[in-house]
Amino acid sequence: MTLTKSELADLLFEKVGLNKREAKDMVEAFFDEVKSALEEGDDVKLSGFCNFQLRDKPQRPGRNPKTGEEIPITARRVVTFHASQKLKMAVEEFRRGNTQ
């Protein structure tokens, strides 16, 4: 199963009592605010769930795997995800209780 924005909006409708329009907009705004913060170079810390950290990577040599041609991989900024201890433990404990 896959969780998507529409199921998240349904939850806000059912649990928080937002109307359908507000629920959809809130889900959109939630991810948009996280994206905006990261775009502005600000790390995001969602206590109990995860941290999103930014890393600046210097240029490094690369290769086109098809042609073997050498091309530099340009300097870039990337997002790294770190699950919180709480989330990691919850995943491990649940998996252990449901071993195949």
d(CA 92, CA 8): 24
**Which secondary structure element, helix H or strand E, spans residue 76, and what is its range?**
strand 76-83
| Size of the residue set binding another protein (CB under 8 A) | 55
Residue 69 binding another protein, by CB under 8 A: no
Identity of the residue, 31 or 71, whose beta carbon is nearer to another protein in the bound complex: 31
Compute the least distance from the CB of residue 26 to another protein, in Å.
5
d(CA 52, CA 38): 8
Residue 73 binding another protein, by CB under 8 A: no
CA within 13 Å, CB half, 80: 8
Identity of the residue, 47 or 67, whose beta carbon is nearer to another protein in the bound complex: 47
**Which secondary structure element, helix H or strand E, spans residue 79, and what is its range?**
strand 76-83
Identity of the residue, 49 or 71, whose beta carbon is nearer to another protein in the bound complex: 49
List the interface residues with another protein, window 16-35 (CB under 8 A): 16-18, 22, 25-27, 29-31, 33-35
Compute the least distance from the CB of residue 68 to another protein, in Å.
26
d(CA 1, CA 39): 30
